[in-house]
Each structure stands twice: as structure tokens, then as C-alpha cells.
Amino acid sequence: MNKRLALALLLICAAAPAARLRPRNARIEAAVDSLQPAVVKIFGAKGFRGIFGYMTGVIVHESGLLLTRGSVTLEEVSAIRCHLHDGRRRQAQVVREDRRSRMVLLKLVAEEGETFPVAKLGSSEKLRPGKFVLLFGNAYNVAAGRERAAVNLGVITAYTSIRMRHGLSDFRYPGKVILHDAMNNPGVYGGPLADLDGAVIGISGTLVESKETNAQVHYAIPIDDLKPFIEDTLKNPGASRVYDPEGRSDTGAGQDNQPGYHGIRILKGGINRATPAYVDRVRRNSPAAKAGLRPDDLVLQIDQTSVKSWKSFGRIMKSYRAGETARLTIKRGEEIKIITLTLAREEEEPSR
């Protein structure tokens, strides 16, 4: 074989992998371009230890309905600020919560006649390990203006139920979650996980740890689990703030629709919304008393939701109904404890 022929064969072999990669690269770029306009950078509360004042969401309706993950970032602020892909800045309000998935729907405050780009929602029905995915988000707040959101490429490692924990509490989700290896950096929380067609297949959560091995994994809540939440909110714009897939309302008439009774009185902080949630009084024979809660206990977390003030404690507990169980992470002196209480109807409290 002469030298020229050998060199030609070498160049052909070297170019073959690059040629095979070009179609996939083009597909990735097209997917990123199609979803970027619907990705929103969200700014809220900051200054709490371990809590970043920025996160991500995705627009699911042209009216400005925005899906993201519930967070203290959205709770302790008078106004939620959102930056769109084209530099527009709009405020947003929480319109509904899904406690089962810890998702929230925000509504962008639109100007007259204004519409917003909408993400294409895919399906999580046929997800399998090895499928390439794209994770969008406001990573490290480097895209605070009209810059494009950061994008990480990864693969699905599993689509399964998991026994994990987040901080001191168990991570409890009744269905399967998407485990993936796309980097979930600070600020990506609440951002969309998409396939290579640019369709949203999940919403990113926090980093969680295995209860058996302490290994940390990235996960997302499947979009098929969230579609009923979105659809019900669009069909019933006047529905109660807390979404219930069984169709109950937390604001309607009837005792079954009322918040459950716990018997905890929190020390109020006056005009200071950020005053921590210290227990002022526990009513005798109440669910809290039976669970062992005491005055001066500091409530840090309710299930997987951080409690950053006396105001947020009341708001969170109002979403629990009679018969439901709440796991409270508390600080008593220098000790951290987890207390489980089952809420009741107030009239069922034994006489004192």
C-alpha cells in the first residue's frame, strides 16, 4: 500500500466518528434552542443558610403560568421576580401548590395583551436508563439578565422508586422519580429536564442521599405526574390554593375541607416575618401534646418543607387535613429531633 492511500484511509477513519456525532450535536442544539425561550430565572428570598435566592422554572401556558419546585425561596418575599430569556422582567405570584409533589404554579404578571413562550410537554411513560437528557437552569446565577440559561447534558440512570433522605428528613414521593447524572448545580432547582426533542419530561429537585449507602443522586419529578396539576389549574382558575387530586378543596364549606387541628401555638414575631417558628404553647391532649412537642421547641422543617418563620409555619400547616400525618423536624436545646403527629378535628379533642 502506497503512502498516499494509507494517509487517505487514516483520514477517513478519523473523520467517521466526527461525522456520526454531527447529527446528534445538531439535534441537541435544536432542542436547546426550542426550550430556552420558556425557561425562566426566578429570584426570591435569600440570606438563609443553605438556601440560594435564585432558582428556575418553565412556562407551561401562554398566559404566564409557570411551573417550578416549591422552595423557601418563594415563601419569605413580598414579590417574586422573574427574568425571561429576552430580558423581560416580570413579577410573579404563587397561585397553587401540589403538596404531593412539592410543585408550585406561579403566574407572571403580564402587561396588557402580553403572551409568553410555552414549553412543549413530553411524556415520562417510556423513560429508560441510557436515554440522553438536558437539564436547564440558572446555575450559580450567572445568567441573571437576558443570557441563556445553563444547560447540562446527561443520561437517565434509573426510573424507579427510591428510599432517600433530604437533610434530616425522609424523601417521600409515592411514585417513581427520574434519576440522572446531569449536574444539578445551585440555581437549577425547579428547572426542566428535557429529552433531545426539547420536550419537558421532568422538573428538577434537590440533591438527595441514599438511606443505605449515603450516595447522593440527582432526580426529577416525572412530567406525567404533574400534568393533572397543570390541567386542573387551567380548567379551574378559581380553585383552592392547595391542589388535591381527589378533588377536595381546602377552602370550601364542610368540615372535611378544613385544615386539621394540631394544638400548637407559635410565638408570633409581629411585623418581622423572618422570626423563627418557636413553640409558645402546646394545648393539653392535642395531637402535638401526644406526639411529645414542648414549648420552646424550634420547628425547622415540616416533612420536606423548610420552616423559616412563624408565618410560614402557619401557612404550611393549613395545607394538612384531619387524619393526615406531619413529620416535624425540631431543635430542642442542642438536640435535633423528629416528631410525628397526626392531625385531628378540633371538636374531637378530648375534654380537659
Mean pLDDT of 290-312: 87
Cα(6)–Cα(3) distance, rounded to whole angstroms?
Answer: 5
Domain range spanning residue 322?
255-348
* Burial class for 307, CB neighbours closer than 10 Å (0-12, 13-18, 19+): buried
Stretch (H or E) spanning 108:
strand 103-108
Q: Which residue has the higher pLDDT, 15 or 52?
A: 52
Cα(103)–Cα(42) distance, rounded to whole angstroms?
Answer: 14
Provide long-range contacts, Cβ within 8 A and 24+ apart, for 112-116: 114/64, 115/62, 115/63, 116/38, 116/59, 116/62, 116/63, 116/64, 116/84
Q: Does any domain span residue 176?
A: yes
pLDDT tens, position by position, 158-183: 998 877 766 655 667 778 999 999 98
Same domain, 200 and 271: no
Same domain, 218 and 137: yes
* Burial class for 184, CB neighbours closer than 10 Å (0-12, 13-18, 19+): buried
Residues in CB range of 119: below 8 A, 6 or more apart: 35, 38, 39, 58, 59, 60, 192, 199, 200
Please identify, among 206, 223, 240, the residue that sits at the C-terminal boundary of a domain. Answer: 223
Please identify, among 176, 207, 223, the residue that sits at the C-terminal boundary of a domain. Answer: 223
pLDDT tens, position by position, 257-275: 577 899 999 988 655 556 8
Mean pLDDT of 82-86: 92
3-class secondary-structure state, position 35: helix
Please tell me the pTM assigned to this model: 0.69
Residue 20 pLDDT exceeds 60: no
Residue 18 pLDDT exceeds 50: no
Beta bridge partners of 334: none
Cα(204)–Cα(103) distance, rounded to whole angstroms?
Answer: 10
Q: Does any domain span residue 177?
A: yes
Please identify, among 178, 204, 223, the residue that sits at the C-terminal boundary of a domain. Answer: 223
CA distances 81 to 35, 78, 93, 115, Å, are 20, 10, 9, 17
Contact 240, 254 (CB under 8 A): no
Same domain, 265 and 341: yes
Model pLDDT, residue 321? 81
Q: Which residue has the higher pLDDT, 14 or 43?
A: 43
Residue 52 pLDDT exceeds 80: no
Cα(220)–Cα(179) distance, rounded to whole angstroms?
Answer: 7
Q: Does any domain span residue 262?
A: yes
Mean pLDDT of 2-6: 58
Cell numbers describing residue 148? 441563556
**CATH code assigned at 143:** 2.40.10.10
Same domain, 213 and 146: yes
| Type of residue numbered 106 | L
Q: Does any domain span residue 143?
A: yes
Q: Does any domain span residue 126?
A: no
Q: Does any domain span residue 289?
A: yes
Residue 306 pLDDT exceeds 80: no
Domain count, the chain: 2
Residue 347 pLDDT exceeds 70: no
Same domain, 219 and 154: yes
| Type of residue numbered 58 | V
**CATH code assigned at 314:** 2.30.42.10
Q: Does any domain span residue 188?
A: yes
Q: Does any domain span residue 228?
A: no
Same domain, 219 and 264: no
Lowest mean pLDDT among 19-28, 313-322, 334-343: 19-28
